[in-house]
Amino acid sequence: MFAILDRALNIERGGQKVFHLELGDPALPAQEKIINETIEGLRGGAWHYGSSAGNLDFRNSLANFNNFFFDSKIVGENIVVAPANFFITAFLSLVCDKGDRVLLITPCFPTYIASASMLGLEIVEYATGPENGYIPKEPIFDLIKKVKPKAIIVNSANNPTGALYSEGFLEDLVIAAKNAGSWVLSDETYGLISYDNKYYSLINSDYDKLVVLSSLSKIFSIPGLRVGYCISRSSIFIGWLVKYLSTTISCIPPFIQVGCTEYLSDLKGVSNDIQAVNILYAKRCNFIFDEIPSLSHLVLRPKSAFYLFLPLPNHIDGKIFSVDLINSSHVAVTPGVSFGNDFKSYVRATFCGADEDVIEGIKRVSSAILNLKKL
Amino acid sequence: MFAILDRALNIERGGQKVFHLELGDPALPAQEKIINETIEGLRGGAWHYGSSAGNLDFRNSLANFNNFFFDSKIVGENIVVAPANFFITAFLSLVCDKGDRVLLITPCFPTYIASASMLGLEIVEYATGPENGYIPKEPIFDLIKKVKPKAIIVNSANNPTGALYSEGFLEDLVIAAKNAGSWVLSDETYGLISYDNKYYSLINSDYDKLVVLSSLSKIFSIPGLRVGYCISRSSIFIGWLVKYLSTTISCIPPFIQVGCTEYLSDLKGVSNDIQAVNILYAKRCNFIFDEIPSLSHLVLRPKSAFYLFLPLPNHIDGKIFSVDLINSSHVAVTPGVSFGNDFKSYVRATFCGADEDVIEGIKRVSSAILNLKKL
């Protein structure tokens, strides 16, 4: 990945355009009210330390926000705030010991793999594939029964495939986890970006070893504010998590919490904003597939999020392809191996970036893949 | 600690004043230019992801800032940014394995102990005492030779004692560490708040297993912005650290980095600001000792930072004393055991808080201790 980013930087330093499809960093402007209220928070003096769990006002507003969207009944005390990426390591550190097994449904967000490796966990990858729409098949329940993982990470809406898992599948997975005594992290970061609204949240599950992870970064286009949150019904787990955060990052900036709290106070407005963002990404997805007719032969159309996970022909290595692509076509993508061992011959391209990057960039990736197919 | 904070909250909910001396959270206003430039950063759209190491502009400005003050020759690539508290866990995670020995000079910042415990390290506490001005004595070098710790954390200017270690001691400690192959974390968070400017930084040491930790939180009164940094001459260590940060917190908010970069661009102005803060805390320290004549019999006058580390008479337990104190006198302090096992009969009181808290609060602590002495 560094080789690609370095090359991209060199090309740009040389005055040439690079088409950036490598990062899930929305080019949409941040929700203006969050920015304005964060500025007010700074002006108002919220530059002091805050609670490691997050300010209770903010946790309450996140509870209301979730209850509004998912008909749940959580309270602020069920919620802890920190960067979403950090919660992956926090969760795995707290529930696993070195050598414990963690089950990942792949392809998956690279931090799951990086964090589990860093902590010395044994990673069991359950690979899904395009033939089944990247939906895990039944044997995963047998697998949970057999390997008894200490922890399972499940991610619907899915990065990088855009797959959405059904209510039945997710509830069954929780039953299998319960039977095996496994902890479950349900990463729902992209849940609110599901085009046909079929996203199912595990927030209402009463399994005490289930933790829901979400983030304000993607849906409100504020990744640099670093605001994610965990939801758990277990006061014991919340206690562990708060202690972990107080030993590590202490807290996230309180003025950012003030900004987000103010924004979330108008849930009707928030709901409209979310719908607008949703429609925008769905339209953009349709537009790309309309503009590039060959694309539908190359990749499964995502049902959520803003990524295309593209298989390469003839088992071509995704790393080599990515380096060739940045050199020959000036397009930056992410090699598939970051998402799991079974995906060495894939690349991920995002469509959340700037208009001028996305259309031309994806056109160039598509042609490069089509040319390979002709070989 | 929670018992005390809960009690404080209850008293305040009942409409009564609590004198807060428990947190190192400066009541001084944040440096205005940092706040204004951070707002400009937000307005300018710096709400995207940033580099895990920190933006190179910011790292360069931190290098210039340090070179200006310590006559050092570091470059931006020697620096990584994240909350200072987080670097303690990051450092220990990267250089130690479970069961490894870490040497702490106590009393010490509670996160050293909490983090080492969390990581399953064997903590060797080397206790200093007021009889020697909390300066470690010669046997520490024999101890390093004998126990060969995997890591040593040294903290001058010291929290909670305000002690400053000499150049000779610190350089000798590095030699002993080098001979034992130990990593050293030199926490210099309070370095720029040393009243007589006798603070000695290890930034110019060429030992490749030495890491300097510092923070903008205390000296610029911006703890809630969560900006700390590590300095290392080892590109290998910097590489480990960046990978660790990319797997955990990803990055700190880029607009905050923009704000700090702009502020640090005028080093003459920064220098004046630092001097003003320094003089202010020194004056405040003098004022407290002048106002409360008995204080000099109760506690060693600090040479830096903004804490008083008070021994209690008759081996009275600091936790019990602290709970009694909040109940009877409405003053919140921190029990000494948080700073090391040898300090159960101590409490820490800060004098960085609001004027109305500090003078009256410390008066009340002093009387409470004097009353105990009379028993």
Measured distance CA(B325)–CA(B362) in Å, rounded? 11
Exposure of A283 by Cβ count < 10 A (0-12 exposed, 13-18 middle, 19+ buried)?
A: exposed
CA-based nearest residue to B165, from B183, B142, B191, B144: B191
How many CA atoms lie within 13 Å of A228's alpha carbon, on the beta-carbon side?
Answer: 25
Measured distance CA(A205)–CA(A174) in Å, rounded? 8
Work out the widest C-alpha separation in chain B, in whole angstroms.
63
Q: In terms of domains, do A189 and A320 share one?
A: no
Of A32, A248, A252, which to mutate for an interface test with B (greatest number of B Cβ within 10 Å)?
A248
Q: Is residue B31 part of a domain?
A: no
What pLDDT, in 10s, does the model give residues B224-275?
A: 999 999 999 999 999 999 999 999 999 999 999 999 999 999 999 999 999 9
Name the residue type at position A277: V
Q: In terms of domains, do A221 and A309 share one?
A: no
Residues of B in contact with A251 (CB under 8 A): 224, 226
The two three-digit tokens of residue B2, written as one number: 């929670």
Question: Do B226 and A248 make contact, defined as CB atoms within 8 angstroms?
Answer: no
Alpha helices in A119-163 (DSSP H): 139-147
Measured distance CA(B254)–CA(B225) in Å, rounded? 11
Q: Report how far Cα A95 is from the mean position of its chain's Cα atoms.
A: 21
Q: In terms of domains, do B254 and B275 share one?
A: no
Q: Answer whether A42 touches B (CB < 8 Å).
A: yes
Name the residue type at position B229: Y
Q: How many domains does chain A have?
A: 2
CA dihedral for B292, B298, B302, B307, sign (positive or negative): negative
Position B323 pLDDT exceeds 70? yes
Please give the pLDDT value at position B138: 83
Final residue belonging to a domain, choices B265, B295, B310: B265
What pLDDT, in 10s, does the model give residues A86-122?
A: 999 999 999 999 999 999 999 999 999 999 999 999 9
How many A-B residue pairs are in contact by the CB < 8 A criterion?
A: 108
Q: Is residue B82 part of a domain?
A: yes
Residues of B in contact with A45 (CB under 8 A): 29-30
Q: In terms of domains, do A66 and A159 share one?
A: yes
Question: Do A223 and B48 make contact, defined as CB atoms within 8 angstroms?
Answer: yes
Q: Is residue B375 part of a domain?
A: no
Q: In terms of domains, do B15 and B52 share one?
A: no
Q: Terminus-to-terminus CA distance in chain A, angstroms?
A: 26
Question: Do B225 and A253 make contact, defined as CB atoms within 8 angstroms?
Answer: yes
Please give the pLDDT value at position A197: 66
Q: In terms of domains, do A68 and A117 share one?
A: yes
| pTM of this prediction exceeds 0.90 | yes
Q: Is residue B209 part of a domain?
A: yes
Measured distance CA(A115)–CA(B244) in Å, rounded? 9
A16: CB partners within 8 A, 6+ apart: A330
Measured distance CA(B113)–CA(B106) in Å, rounded? 10
Mean pLDDT value of segment B9-34: 95
Q: In terms of domains, do A99 and A213 share one?
A: yes
Position B115 pLDDT exceeds 70? yes
Q: In terms of domains, do A260 and A127 share one?
A: yes
Residues of B in contact with A111 (CB under 8 A): 247
Q: In terms of domains, do A242 and A161 share one?
A: yes
Q: Is residue B10 part of a domain?
A: yes
The two three-digit tokens of residue B69, written as one number: 């003050």
Task: Work out the percent of chain B whose per-residue pLDDT is above 70.
Answer: 100
Final residue belonging to a domain, choices B265, B293, B310: B265
Q: Answer whether B1 touches A (CB < 8 Å).
A: no
CATH number, domain of A351, equals: 3.90.1150.10
Final residue belonging to a domain, choices B208, B230, B265: B265
Domain that holds residue A58: 32-266
Measured distance CA(B3)–CA(B213) in Å, rounded? 31
Please give the pLDDT value at position A196: 81
Q: Is residue B190 part of a domain?
A: yes
Question: Do B118 and A43 make contact, defined as CB atoms within 8 angstroms?
Answer: no
Exposure of A235 by Cβ count < 10 A (0-12 exposed, 13-18 middle, 19+ buried)?
A: exposed
Q: In terms of domains, do B199 and B293 share one?
A: no
pLDDT tens for chain A, residues 1 to 375: 777 888 898 999 999 999 999 999 999 999 999 999 999 999 999 999 999 999 999 999 999 999 999 999 999 999 999 999 999 999 999 999 999 999 999 999 999 999 999 999 999 999 999 999 999 988 899 999 999 999 999 999 999 999 999 999 999 999 999 999 999 999 999 999 999 867 999 999 999 999 999 999 999 999 999 999 999 999 999 999 999 999 999 999 999 999 999 999 999 999 999 999 999 999 999 999 999 999 999 999 999 999 999 999 999 999 999 999 999 999 999 999 999 999 999 999 999 999 999 999 999 999 999 999 887
For tokens 């709290």, what's the residue? A261
In sequence order, the β-bridge partners of residue A194 are: A304
Q: Which ipTM did the prediction report?
A: 0.96
Q: In terms of domains, do B86 and B191 share one?
A: yes
How many CB atoms neighbour CB B329 within 10 A? 17
For tokens 């949409």, what's the residue? A28
CATH number, domain of A113, equals: 3.40.640.10
Question: Do A249 and B85 make contact, defined as CB atoms within 8 angstroms?
Answer: yes
Q: Is residue B362 part of a domain?
A: yes
CA-based nearest residue to A212, from A67, A40, A352: A67
For tokens 């390290």, what's the residue? B121
C-beta separation of B78 from B278 below 8 A:
no
Residues of A in contact with B219 (CB under 8 A): none
For tokens 């409100």, what's the residue? A220
Measured distance CA(B44)–CA(B265) in Å, rounded? 18
Chain B residue with CA closest to A228: the answer is B249
Mean pLDDT value of segment B8-14: 91
Q: Answer whether A99 touches B (CB < 8 Å).
A: no
Position B197 pLDDT exceeds 70? no
Please give the pLDDT value at position A321: 97
Tell me how close the Cα of A226 comes to any Cα of chain B, in angstroms. 7
CA-based nearest residue to A82, from A109, A103, A106, A55: A55
Q: What is the mean pLDDT of chain B?
A: 96
Q: In terms of domains, do B78 and B123 share one?
A: yes
Mean pLDDT value of segment B85-94: 98
CA distance to A197, A217, B172, B246, per residue, from B182 (Å): 55, 40, 13, 26
What pLDDT, in 10s, does the model give residues B141-182?
A: 999 999 999 999 999 999 999 999 999 999 999 999 999 999
DSSP conformational letter for B352: S
